[in-house]
Structure 1
Amino acid sequence: MTKVSAGERPHPARSDGGDVARGLCDIHDMLWLPDGGGGAWLGDQRVLLFYPSSYQVLARALLEDAGPEAARRAFMRMGYTAGTNSAALLLSRGTEQVGADSFSKALSMLSIVGVAQAGDVDVDIDAARGRFRASISWTQSLDADFYLSNLGLSAAPVCHSLVGYMNAYASALVGVPVAFREVECQACGHAVCRVVGRTVADWGDEASELDYSRPHQLINRFAAGGETATASDDPDLVGASPGFTVAFQLVERVAPTRVDVLFLGETGVGKELFARALHRISTRCDGPFVAVNCAALPDSLVEAELFGVERGAYTGATRSRAGRFERADGGTLFLDEIGTLPYASQSKLLRVLQTREIERVGGEHLKRVDVRVIAATNEELEAAVRDGRFREDLYFRLSTFPVRIPPLRERRDDIPLLIGHFLNRYKHVHGRSVSGFTTAALQALMRHSYPGNVRELEQLIERAVILTPDQQPIDVAQLFFRPLAGLRHGAGAGDMAAHADGATGAAAQVLSTLLDESWSLSDLGEAFVDLALERASGNVAQAARLLGVSRAQIDYRLRRRRGAPR
């Protein structure tokens, strides 16, 4: 157990007087203001300076217009996003092991932006074994101050954004879902606001009472306490980021209707999971859910597979067979990769969507079907229409209600949730007792660019669970064990860090030479920046693209090198 106390608000220049003060100095070193405006930056993340009065206007508007429950969920999500960003900032530095001091730094971030004044931190944490218990306090909470100033004493704790912040921050650092409960609150008349936190598994039956990550009760059914996932379970949607929440709220809105839906998104974002969720919460939930991958159907058999075939319709048709539309009667038909459907078959699909009547191949009679169609594609259908590969009338018919599912790189707030979800799932599926993640593994997972989106993250975790010995934490070697053929041109620094453990060939020789010559990770980063700027003829934006990072990250490094005032 480590206990840290913080008295008065420490001045940024102080270097003595406790871990919180030192943490505040560390964070202040990362805060800078670029010349010529552009806002304030904390490391490579842009931050906003808010007047408390502006926050109170927002809070009051949410309470009055949306109601207390919707306002609570909104502030939880806002805090969750901030907590994930803070954890990513800490992990990106890669200079320390996760411990009690990491939570002192979290409170430092809250103090420096004026959200709350740091209090006591009492933490027992072992990320490698997935163990976490904490008692954390603060004062001058914006949430509590707003409530006292506008509504008076509260019967229940009100620091929703701060609880959301701690949930996300701890989950990211520990690598498993963590939940906090506020047990004291200044809005209730207590001297301080205090939260206690544990892993969701350690909360047991009480976990169901905690709104630890989910913006809605239909989202994020973690395998916790007495609940366990099985291989046959329909995987649940997991997320709390703004992009994820918007997509799911659109699904909720359209679910009770009869309209067809088009899911748009890159490969691996979970379009079929969203389609299944839509079916589960619709009025058709008791009917069948039939999924078809249009790209897997041979052109000559598309119509037979979709609409059915009568015996003798063609050579080899030895019996009559119902198509997917008939099998989905009374339920939902999911047409994945709709953009690959042959052009000749598109007109017949359009006809079925308009009339809800199908005619089997070789048949003479129309049959009416009651089917809701959900289509999905990773293509730009508008471009396919312009290129003459997709019918414009079918596109307009399908796009009555489009839902875009953002890629994982746009919903990085969800990575800690997904890590914990997949770890719990595959520990049970494969009968393993992996204890958690090392700090290096968590850093690699938070930095990785995920070109394969959620599916890639899931496969990384499943493979690591299989490779890691029981009672041991997952390390980078188990996550990224595939060898590198060489350093990829334009690869991001996070990807290289994640894959370096398995590097072979030319890459291994380069890395070995650099280590022999005592190059530090910081020196290597500076050299990469210089090389990228040289190739880009000094164009910072182009150099950032070469390295796979943001322009702000390059600017931040250059300013630190010059010692420019922040």
Structure 2
Amino acid sequence: MMTSKPKLPTAKDLIQAIKFDTDNGKIWLNEQRMLLVDASVMAQLKADLIASLGSERAKLFLMRFGYQAGIKDAEVSRKLRPHLSPEKAFLAGPQMHNIRGMVRVEPIELQFDIETGHYHGVFNWFDSYEAGVHAHGNGLSDQPVCWTLLGYASGYTSYFMGKAIIYQETACTAMGHEHCRIVGKPAEAWGELTDMERSMTPDPVQDELFALRTELVRLRSSQPLRTDPEFKIFNAIGESQPFRQAYNLLAHAAQSKVTVLLQGETGAGKEAFARSLHAGSVRAEGPFVAINCACIPPELIEAELFGVEKGAFTGAHQSRMGKFERAHGGTIFLDEVVELSARAQAALLRVLQENEYERVGDHKTRSIDVRVVTATNEDLQQAVQTGKFRADLYYRLNVFPIRIPPLRERKDDIPLLVAHFLAKFCTVYKKRILGISDRGMELLQQYDWPGNIRELENVIERGVILTDHNHHIASASLFPGNSDTAFNAEGFDIRGKIQIQRNQNVQWQSWLAQLLQADFALEQFEQDLIQQALSLSKGNVSEAARRLGLTRPALAYRMKKMQEP
């Protein structure tokens, strides 16, 4: 595609994507959180970097900073302009430079073809904030000074083109020129290593600092969890105080023979804790056998746990060992232990008291060396009172209870868990996902997670599946029905508040009841809602559709029906 002097399209769609949520102290560009920073503060930061790192290293640092900002905006612009021509979609980058107040951009030449990788771009910059603050504080320069802006242009275009595109500043007002000018082309076309390319190569000093910082974080994060230096962490992730308290109890229990009862809601990670207990014990080299008692019919549970002799009942054509025999010398984990039948409870009590058992249909007593770890999401004490569970067995199991906190009590761990599941599912689905959008992460931390860690894992898997390669996961890919965050004129998050009301069922039901007290008509309500969405979107059907959680064709169909007599 070739253009001599392209004209910037309207920036209305980009401006409408900027939301000021003053109640919560946030500014959003689509789903990325933004900051409104004084230009003089950025100038001071640049001066401090030059003083601390030297001019050359400061330049490379700020180019990298700008490069990452450009990548972020390129990803957002792709989402905001999916149906526009490649040229108009690309020109969102220069427009975002304008909107951000960094510089006014005038395209002079633009030639590019994404398929072949050909690119040539020339842009004039007017009123560059970097050139302006430099000239004001330092006078004329002998070299271009728009380092951050240059990095932004390179990052934005590289992301858009899918290959390294490098810009160089050929004129700069800080050097006395009438205006700044940049020229961009593929990295290989420059013929020599540019400052931009050098900014993206490893810096030995920075690498060493990063390595030291990484090691410090690792030590800080691992040390508090290790009450015993030999205690091993197995697939259990967290740094929050409730998690650490539970995990410290687990570490104390690991080196003993005590029977452990794990208490927690469904999906809270009971099996991960049980595996950690086994991995940190002297039985770590032995087998770990996990069984969910709720998944086995009551008439089969005893045979499944303790084995069966040939001919014990119809269909028992051969003898086979049970789960306890398989766990000999190791650990057996009985999840949902409250679901055990009365006979199975009696057999389990015998194992705990005498370390022996009998197979179903056999009179031979067998010795067993196994550590028992049980778990339940019910109140076992109440199950004893109702007669569902044996009191003597309860007291045997409840020697060392550990309560595993639900995810809503350890929301500080959500970023760590998200990173873990992202790495897992990126490997499974062979994708490179850049992370979660700022808005998406905020929603993850606001949600109460009734399904706990298992639900979070499922949500992240869904997000990875729905997200394109080399993109951030948007909130719409995490939570069905939350395809776009709707704001009114004051920046109030309408859909977020409605979602909260839905979660708080009493308030939601009350609102519905009030709505239905009047002469309510569903068809009229739908029409009023559509009209309101169109009004807030200033007639933009696509934007109104996003606010309503509909596709554009679906909304167009409803609008057509509204016009029919």
Q: Counterpart in 1 of 2:318?
A: 319
Question: Structure 1 pair 327/473, CA: closer, same or farther in 2 (3 Å)?
Answer: same
Q: How far apart, in 1, do the equivalents of 2:499 and 2:466 lie?
A: 26
Seen in structure 2, the aligned counterparts of structure 1 residues 463 and 90 have a Cα distance that, compared at 3 Å, is: farther
2:533 paired residue among 511, 515, 518: 515
Q: What secondary structure is seen at the aligned counterpart in 2 of 1:317? A: coil
Distance 1:244 1:102, change over 3 A: farther
Change (3 A) 1:291 1:90: farther
Whether the 8 Å contact between 2:31 and 2:439 is mirrored in structure 1 is no
List gaps (5 residues or longer) in structure 2: 1-19, 40-60, 75-202, 227-232, 484-494, 505-521, 539-565
Secondary structure of the 1:370 match is coil
**What corresponds to 1:211 in structure 2?**
218
The change in CA–CA distance for 1:471 and 1:490 in structure 2 (over 3 A counts) is closer
Query: Which protein shows a greater Rg?
Result: 2
Partner of 1:134: none
Q: Is it true that 1:268 corresponds to 2:267 in the alignment?
A: yes
**Closer, same or farther: CA 96–368 of 1 in aligned 2, 3 Å:** closer
Question: Residue type of the partner of 1:435?
Answer: L
**Structure 1 residues 453 and 351: alpha-carbon distance in aligned structure 2, compared to 1, 3 A threshold:** same
**Aligned twin of 1:460:** 459
Asked if 1:98 corresponds to 2:33, the answer is yes
The aligned length equals 330
For 1:492, the equivalent position in structure 2 comes to 500
Shift of 1:295: 0.4
Q: What are the residue-to-residue correspondences of 1:97-496 with 2, within 5 Å?
A: 97-99=32-34, 207-211=214-218, 214-216=221-223, 236-481=235-480, 492=500
User: In structure 2, do the counterparts of structure 1 residues 286 and 92 end up closer, same or farther at CA, with 3 Å as the change threshold?
Assistant: farther
Q: In the TM superposition, what whole-angstrom CA distance separates every residue of 1:409-464 from its partner, at most 9, and x where no partner exists?
A: 11111111111121122111221111222222122212111111111111111111
- Percent pairwise identity: 42
Letter in 1 for 2:500: G
Shift of 1:210: 3.0
- Could you tell me how far apart the structure 2 residues matched to 1:379 and 1:103 are? 55
Q: Aligned equivalents of 1:325 and 1:362: distance in 2?
A: 16
Moved more, 344-353 or 300-309: 344-353
Following the alignment from structure 2 to structure 1, what is the Cα–Cα distance between the partners of residues 333 and 419? Answer: 29
What amino acid is aligned across from residue 285 of structure 1 in structure 2? A
Seen in structure 2, the aligned counterparts of structure 1 residues 514 and 490 have a Cα distance that, compared at 3 Å, is: closer
Alignment check: 8 A CA contact 2:356 2:365 kept: yes
Instruction: Give CA-to-partner distance per residue, 1:242-278, whole Å, 9 cap, x none.
Output: 1100011001000000011000000010000000011
Distance in 2, matches of 1:446 and 1:352, equals 43
SS in 2 for 1:211: helix
Please list the CA deviations of residues 467-497 of structure 1 after superposition, one character each: whole Å capped at 9, or x if unmatched: 111011111121113689xx9999525969x
The answer on whether the counterparts of 1:260 and 1:374 sit within 8 Å (CA) in structure 2 is yes
Change (3 A) 1:130 1:323: farther
CA 1:350 to 1:130, structure 2 compared with 1: closer, same or farther past 3 Å? farther
Contact persistence 1:284–1:332 (CA under 8 A): yes
Cα RMSD of the aligned pairs, angstroms, is 4.3
- Structure 1 distance, partners of 2:339, 2:497, is 31
Residues 1:100 and 1:259: Cα distance change in structure 2 (over 3 Å): same
Distance 1:127 1:203, change over 3 A: farther
Distance 1:102 1:306 in 2: 64
**Where does structure 1 lack aligned partners over 5 or more consecutive residues?**
1-25, 31-88, 105-120, 132-195, 220-233, 497-504, 521-566
Displacement of 1:368: 0.7
- Structure 1 residues 519 and 129: alpha-carbon distance in aligned structure 2, compared to 1, 3 A threshold: closer
Query: Are the structure 2 counterparts of residues 90 and 315 from structure 1 closer, same or farther at C-alpha, using a change threshold of 3 Å?
Result: farther
TM-score of the superposed pair, with normalisation by structure 1: 0.51
Distance 2:335 2:496 in 1: 32
Distance 1:416 1:367, change over 3 A: same
Q: Which has the higher contact order (CA 8 A, sep 6+)?
A: 1
- Secondary structure of 1:320 counterpart: coil
Distance 2:453 2:222 in 1: 19
Shift in alpha-carbon separation, 1:289–1:517, aligned structure 2, 3 A: same
Contact 2:260 2:400 in 1 (8 A): yes
Native 8 Å contact 2:267 2:454 kept in 1 = yes
